[in-house]
Structure 1
Amino acid sequence: MDSVLNAVPEIEQGLSDAAHSKITVSFTPHLMPMVIVALSIRGMQSTIYVEMAPGVTVEDLYQQLKISYKDEEFVKLLEKGVVPRTHNVRGSNYCLMNVFPDRIPGRAIIISVIDNLIKGASGQALQNLNIMLGFPENTGLLYQALFP
């Protein structure tokens, strides 16, 4: 992957020359080892680029996310440096996330993963129903719903 990322300055130079102005490229290659079961791909990874306010650091953003999600059972901020992986959320209602520095100064990258068949649809509906009916938020959501 390093060889691919090393090509970014050349890509930026070529695009900048063609556009006659400075072009900055955000390029993130993803290796997505997915298991296909009955033609159903489970897992979604989101890569989110954040432009931070002047003076804000990646560490500041990490700490704010840690505070924001500390009481959320199904959203977990991973230890620093750990990349979220779709296979870690397969069959669950969890969202795993982390923050990384971007190569572009003043920006950060947030990576999150969910099982799009659970957290992205049915698990989210059940979680909302639990809240609406006054049940514990995690009722029916702590067991892996996988077949086969």
Structure 2
Amino acid sequence: MRTAAVVGGAGYAGGELLRLLLSHPEIDVTQVTSERLGGKFVHSVHPHLRRRTDLKFQSRASLQPVDVLFLALPHGETSHEIDQLQSLAPTIVDLSADFRLHDSSQYPTWYGWEHPQPRLLGDFVYALPELHRDQIRTANRLASGGCLATAAILGLYPLTRAAAVDRSMPIVIEGKTGSSAGGAEAGPASHHPHRSGEMRSFAPTSHRHTAEIIQELGLSSPNGHGPSIAFSATAVEAVRGILTTAHVFLNDDLDEKALWKIYRAAYADEPFMRIVKESQGIHRYPNPKILSGT
């Protein structure tokens, strides 16, 4: 049994992380932080965790050492506090974007700030098990991937793995996402009268998750010799879930059977992956709705 603490446990990502950790047979969650909600029960913010835990939120300053420290802080905070935080646990799992990219020069381009800890970027493994399971097993610094990036990477990985993509041609990706992706803090764009019923393009070009897609699929930057990535993100009428459609040009004229073989070769033994294409019914193709809460 390993002890774990969640830093920043009041948001949507923190709440989902707690749900998973509290169900894990080898994890004992001992501490959860929120600077704003100190002293309140965790289940007062995450009512689905009532009777799952009696923990109360506490401040970061009061954290005691644990075996694994999960960080669910806003982008930009972890990298400024990492020296203090990593002294609390031998294993760190960061849910923010702060350590996803290996090249510090990409942060000003995609996030608009210089990385304060460039020397630590190489210590973190991009924690997508379908790509890096063996590295994850032995790593003690893990960076969880972005939501839209993960969906795009998983959709395209079998093709890049099989060297089936024509790298001289562009890759076009459209990601449709629900409102929870915006986080728990309300704003004008997430206010219900504005958000409900909308299909809003909020990043028609240059979405910052493009950097992760380029990195993890082994594609050079748009200014290099690889394919250019045209990635658009659209907000749709849903709370949870992402549906990503990617358009690529292939090196060879592959038929459907050959494509299925490529995807099965990549994902046949992956416990979190399902390859879906039914001949009839309303769920013939992947649908985020049926996966909500899994």
Same fold (TM over 0.5): no
TM-score, L = length of structure 2: 0.18
Higher alpha-carbon Rg: 2
TM-score (normalised: structure 1): 0.34
The answer to which structure, 1 or 2, has the higher relative contact order (CA under 8 A, 6+ apart) is: 1
